[in-house]
Amino acid sequence: MSRPDLSYLLRKDDPLGLHHLMGPEPEVAPARPWPPEVPEYLADEPLAALVTELRNYQHELEIQNKVLDYSQAVAESASERFEALFASIPLPLLVLDEHDMVIQANAMAHNAFQPTEDDRILVSFMPLVSEDHADRVCEAFLAARERGGSEVHEVVFSVNADVHLCGDLHIACIEIPQKKGPPIAQFLCAVVDQGPLLAERRTLQQRNTQLFASERRLESVINSSLDAILCVDNAQRITVFNPTAAALFTCAAEDALGSPLERFLPDAANALELAALTTQAVLGEMEGRTASGKQLAVEVSVAFEQHAGGETTTTVFARDLSSRKKAEAHRSELEAQLRESHKMQAVGTMAGGIAHDFNNIVGAILGNVELARADCPENSSLLESLQEIEKAGRRARDLVRQILTFSRNEPPRLCAVQAAEVIRDTERLLRVTLPPAIALHSHIAPQLPALLADATQVEQALFNLTTNAVHAIGDARGMVQVTATLAPADQRLSDRLGLPLASYVALSVQDTGPGIDAATLQRIFEPFFTTKPVGQGTGLGLAVVHGVMRTHGGAVDVTSTPGEGSRFTLYFPIAGGSAPVLAPPVERRPSLAAAPADGAPRRHVMYVDDDQALVFLVQRLLRRRGYEVSGFTDPREAVDALEAAPRQYDLVVTDYNMPGFCGVDLVRAALATRPDLPVALASGYVTAEIEAEALAAGARALIHKPNDVEELCTTVDQLMNQPRLG
């Protein structure tokens, strides 16, 4: 007899390796032929043959019994080994019948599908399969019945409401033969828990998703960076070229990829040798090159990344320095303008400080010239000398006015001024001394709006520019062109000149002189800087122009080319509809030698000034007009005299700036002594603040020094003829 065949318990492909557990095949004695051969000497003896046959049959039965005993022992051993294997395999194993009843389950299956006592008893298998996967599992059992085995992956088993198991289901169909009837099919099911694998898979998927998102973010950072980013390989070939790099080097990324780094950054290519020494380096400012060969300044830094295979990836960061260079140049220009402004302000303060004394001197000269001319007979030879003295005095007076205009910080008295009127007045004054070889032309744009300015200061600025143009041309033949146009709003012009963005009235003076070199252009607005010979220029003309434009909220622009002439342009704000209109001047020239009528009382004037020459001059002037004049150089003595005899004086004229005393204080003291007494304040530096302070203190009039003596006499006459208060 042979050993029983138990292979039906195993799958043909034996995925669990069960065949080796069944042990080796037993050696079975060869079967003897049947019926047994009978010796020839016994063939004639039936009884003996029968005995021999029985003995042989007995022996055969003994052998078969031994074989059966051995087979049973082998079967029992195989069953024990199968049970041990079934119980010890680290997988949930279940044996099911055709009716989904669990015939046998190992401990792993009980732990997996019945972890607690409250869970359902492991009686049937399909209730454990989730509804979403039940159809796939049923199809797998049918396939196993037909083919002997099947698999279904990632099946979800619902152990209870909280526990779910996901695994792969392996099914082997076993057909157990029966003595009667067809064989019975049983299914050996192995569940491979995929939970850890799925968790690892999900972790890997999350890592891949995060890696992809990180790559996308890195790509976005590179593409949106304000710096040019270039990556190069070991051969210094470009592998990454972001949009900023494409814009900076004016080269498309498709054209740049694969190009050597030295095509755009020749100096940076030499620095890549530092890769073995450091991970990053700042190379500083370098010279880059665009695709067209144009050079540009860039700031470069590099980063090195070492890979496991020995390869190195180099990332080059290049920052465009063009804007920074422009900003630094603009800042340097602003700093130079600020230094120039501080210097001009300091000089202006100094000029304003000396104006008082200089005014007194000029006033005394001009006043005495008027008196001398009045005393000289007609056709006297002295008149010519007096006339020259007067010219020199008036030039000194104009110089003082330029100094004061330059030094003033208060806003001018602005009103609507027509450019045509200012240009005509300037042209009329200039033509008196204009050389015949120089032509003077003017052009005024039609329908030009009025400019918001002080007419006197505008005229003075234009006169200074035209005079400089005439002096620049010299004895040569040339032309001076004065134009007035409307300059529309221009952002570049406003940024360059520091003006608010708006439209302006542009007054230009252009000449055909030799032009101005770059070094001189840097200093032309400095006070007392001049290129004229000694005695022909003060160096204040353009400084006054600069001061006028500063106080008007405008600007002056200069363009000049050596050998082609110069062009100065003044930009004035446009006057609005509410701007006051300049009133026409009133001519007032009373006779210097006018005397009071016979029998009229002599009016008494007190004149206070710290300059003795001016006191003496005013006394002589007013006495000739029939006034009695008391002069004081010490304001304190004047106050004492007024307090001693307040009714003795009919008018008080005082200087504003005196050593240790202010004219406004004298005005207050005089009115405190006698409230109805007319008081006038005289000064060569009358600002808006001084005027407001004097009028608030009670002064009736302000007299500007130095002016014609007629202004002083006219003001005295007007104040004397006003009705008395009280």
Contacts of 611 (CB under 8 A, 6+ apart): 357, 360, 364, 633, 655
Most confident stretch, 26-30, 234-238, 249-253, 529-533: 249-253
Q: Is the pLDDT score of 199 beyond 90?
A: no
What is the distance between the alpha carbons of residues 543 and 566, in angstroms, rounded to a whole number?
17
Q: Is the pLDDT score of 534 beyond 80?
A: no
Q: Residue 348: name the closest of 80, 533, 551, 554 by CA.
A: 551
Which pLDDT value is given to residue 648?
92
Q: Average pLDDT of the chain?
A: 80
Which pLDDT value is given to residue 64?
86
Q: What is the pTM of this model?
A: 0.41
* pLDDT tens-place string over residues 214-243: 888 888 888 888 888 988 888 888 999 999
Which pLDDT value is given to residue 179?
80
Which pLDDT value is given to residue 539?
58
Q: Cα dihedral sign for 320, 324, 330, 336?
A: negative
Which pLDDT value is given to residue 101?
92
**Rounded mean pLDDT, 456-462:** 83
Which pLDDT value is given to residue 510?
92
Least confident of 83-97, 229-243, 517-531: 517-531
Which pLDDT value is given to residue 5?
47
At residue 303, the 3 state secondary structure works out as strand
DSSP string, 203-266: HHHHHHHHHHHHHHHHHHHHHH-SSEEEEE-TT-BEEEE-HHHHHHTT--HHHHTTSBGGGT-H
Cα separations in angstroms, 247 against 224, 225, 251, 319: 12, 12, 7, 12
* pLDDT tens-place string over residues 367-406: 788 778 777 887 777 877 877 787 777 767 766 665 665 5
Q: Return the H-helix or E-strand segment holding 451.
A: strand 451-453
Q: Is the pLDDT score of 483 beyond 80?
A: yes
DSSP letter at 77 equals H
Q: Is the pLDDT score of 564 beyond 90?
A: no
Which pLDDT value is given to residue 600?
55
The percentage of residues in the chain with a pLDDT greater than 90, rounded to a whole number, is 16
**Higher-pLDDT residue of 669, 328:** 669
Q: Are 153 and 168 in contact (CB under 8 A)?
A: yes
* pLDDT confidence bin for 90, thresholds 50/70/90: confident
Which pLDDT value is given to residue 21?
43
Q: Is the pLDDT score of 135 beyond 60?
A: yes
The percentage of residues in the chain with a pLDDT greater than 70, rounded to a whole number, is 80
Residue 472 is encoded by which pair of tokens?
A: 């620049």
Residue 468 is encoded by which pair of tokens?
A: 């400089």
What is the distance between the alpha carbons of residues 548 and 567, in angstroms, rounded to a whole number?
18
At residue 671, the 3 state secondary structure works out as helix
What is the b/e burial string over 673-708, where b = at least 16 CB atoms within 10 angstroms of the residue's CB? bbeebbbbbbbbbbeeebbebbeebbbbbbbebbbb
List for the chain the helix, strand, coil content (%; round to 5).
Answer: 45, 20, 30
Least confident of 9-13, 177-181, 703-707: 9-13
Q: Are 482 and 440 in contact (CB under 8 A)?
A: yes
